[in-house]
Amino acid sequence: MNKLKALFTSKPLLAIFVAAAVALAPEAMAGTGGSEFDDIYTLLVGWTQGTLGKIIALGMFMVGLSAGIVNQSIVSVVIGIGGALALYYGPNVINGVVAALV
């Protein structure tokens, strides 16, 4: 086990492995086409922004509200609202960020 640990902690050897991986890796073009996952993306966005997403977001809000009442703290309510907002608006934010970068 010590030999294996020494193999992966040796910086020159690690540099050689990284250089070989980069040299032998196929060229990757992220964001340049390919529609293999469009159906899955559309399905997930439909779930999060459709009726299912609204039900889950309302559930997050209700759980946060009830936990806030039990703990007598507003923090749980804020976490519930934040989770609900992230669930519903998350796909739009991610799409905006990715569209701005590509």
Count Cβ atoms within 10 A of the Cβ of residue 26 and give its class: 0-12 exposed, 13-18 middle, 19 or more buried: exposed
- Read off the pLDDT of residues 6-37 as tens digits, 9 standing for 90 and up: 656 667 766 776 666 666 666 555 555 678 88
The conformational region for residue 33 under phi > 0 = left, psi -120 to 50 = alpha, else beta, is: left
Report residue 52 CA to chain centroid gap. 19
- Read off the pLDDT of residues 30-50 as tens digits, 9 standing for 90 and up: 555 678 888 998 999 899 889
Q: How many helices (H) and strands (E) does the chain have?
A: 5, 0
